[in-house]
A and B are shown apart, each in its own frame.
Chain A
Amino acid sequence: MSVRRPQAAVRRELELLYRSRYPDFVRVATAITESNPGGIDAVQEAFTQALSALGRYRHEAPLEAWVWRIVVNAALAQRRGNREVGQPERLEAASKNGTGPDRSGVRTWIANLPERQRLAVFLRYYADLDYRSIAVTLGVEVGTVSATLNAAHTALRSSLTEVPND
């Protein structure tokens, strides 16, 4: 059974969440939008949307997972908007220009992952979310998250086996 808290209390909790997890939100949003300013803007936009939608927050799900969902959607929308106006900052480019060469091929591998797998990887490793929170964020079952990340790990393990290190 869920307990409905007063909206003012949820609003305070939302602000605390924003302040405490801001770098993680920006990091995930930056990874999705492939743009530093885009990531920051997506997070600001997401929390603006969250404030507007507080009345529709269902207390069955943790507030943080609900917010992560909004952040991911805002970042995806931001990325799409950037591409439409011709500002693509591709993950592939980031992998080439990042600090140090992509010796393991992991960055290229991430760039080529299907979107849901890539989002799950970002949420797992940049935000340190557990499988249940990732499931709520992506709107899938927990088992799907587990299978998605396992598939991603298996694919990477295979690619590392196939490509010898120099």
Chain B
Amino acid sequence: MTEIESIIEQELEHLFPRRELVPDWGEVERRFRRPRRRRLVALVLVTVLVLLLAGLSAIFRVTGSSGSSGLDRFSNQGTLVARPGVPGRLYLLGVRADTAFYRLEGRKLCVGIGWASEIGHPGAGGCGAHFPSASEPVMTFAGVVATKDHDGRVFQFAGLAADGVAKLELLSPRGAILAAAPIRDNIFTLPSANGLLLRGDRVVFLDRQGKTVHVEQY
């Protein structure tokens, strides 16, 4: 150990000393059993919400912007995923972190998301009334968990965007950038938003010139 490392170790010991603590695994299990029901209810609610994407603006204050190009295009066609015995064709658009994105064959652009570990099984999906367009360039899927301390903590934030949307940023109520992610191949996740996205935060979507094209207020 170097001298610097030794100094840091000593000072850190003063700052937050090691304490004799008794672990309480029983409480972990009680917490695990308790919120599980709420999580299940929340997941069902999220699925319903996703299917009613057109109505999301009733919950999230959403604003759009005109003047940017490519907001009415969605180029990623994906690759066909085999689903024996299930009608309709499903195309995998890509995978980001632990989320897989899909396009469902049809006249309208219908999309879905699921876990990356279960390719071919979208857990939620929907068809945006005006997606993609300047008024609806983004379709988001936000899974919310109710916890003891927070009434709405996002555990998954993912979505799809028109060609003209290049980046998203999570902003605090005061405008500080808490997290950011690029949008490639029309799909995105914001893994670092997990557990952090709270009421009052904004998610801002930008085009390649850095111009805001869409805002979701939580």
Contacts and interface: CB of A to CB of B under 8 A. Distances in A.
B8 A156 contact: yes
B8 to A, nearest CB: 6
Interface in B1-43: 2, 4-5, 7-9, 11-12, 14-21, 23-25, 27-29, 31-32, 35-36, 39
Nearest to B3: A157
A160 B15 CA distance: 18
Contacts of A112: none
B218 interface: no
Contact of B28 (A48, A56, A84, A139): A48
A159 to B, nearest CB: 11
A148 interface: no
B15 A98 contact: yes
B15 A31 contact: yes
Interface string A1-37: 0000000000000010011001100110011000000
A51 B18 contact: no
A77 B147 CA distance: 12
B25 A27 contact: no
A81 B12 contact: no
Given A30-B16, A121-B8, A80 B196 contact: yes
A22 B150 contact: no
A18 B14 CA distance: 24
B25 A76 contact: no
A41 to B, nearest CB: 8
A22 B20 CA distance: 10
B115 A102 contact: no
The size bracket of the interface on B is 35 or more
B12 A74 contact: no
A23 B98 contact: no
Given A76-B196, A156-B8, A47 B28 contact: yes
Contacts of B35: 48
18 contacts: A18-B25, A18-B28, A22-B21, A23-B20, A26-B19, A31-B12, A45-B147, A47-B25, A76-B195, A78-B149, A98-B15, A107-B11, A110-B11, A125-B12, A126-B16, A153-B5, A156-B4, A160-B7
Given A30-B16, A31-B15, A100-B14, A77 B27 contact: no
Nearest to A95: B15
A121 B23 CA distance: 24
The size bracket of the interface on A is 35 or more
A73 interface: yes
A59 to B, nearest CB: 11
Contacts of B198: 80-81, 84
Contacts of A56: 98, 115, 117
Given A45-B147, A56-B115, A94-B15, A19 B196 contact: no
Interface hub of B4, B16, B24, B27 (most chain A Cβ within 10 A): B16
A106 interface: yes
Nearest to B31: A48
Nearest to B178: A80
Contacts of A139: 191
A27 B16 contact: yes
B21 A107 contact: no
B214 interface: no
A51 B27 CA distance: 12
B41 to A, nearest CB: 14
A44 interface: yes
A22 B23 contact: yes
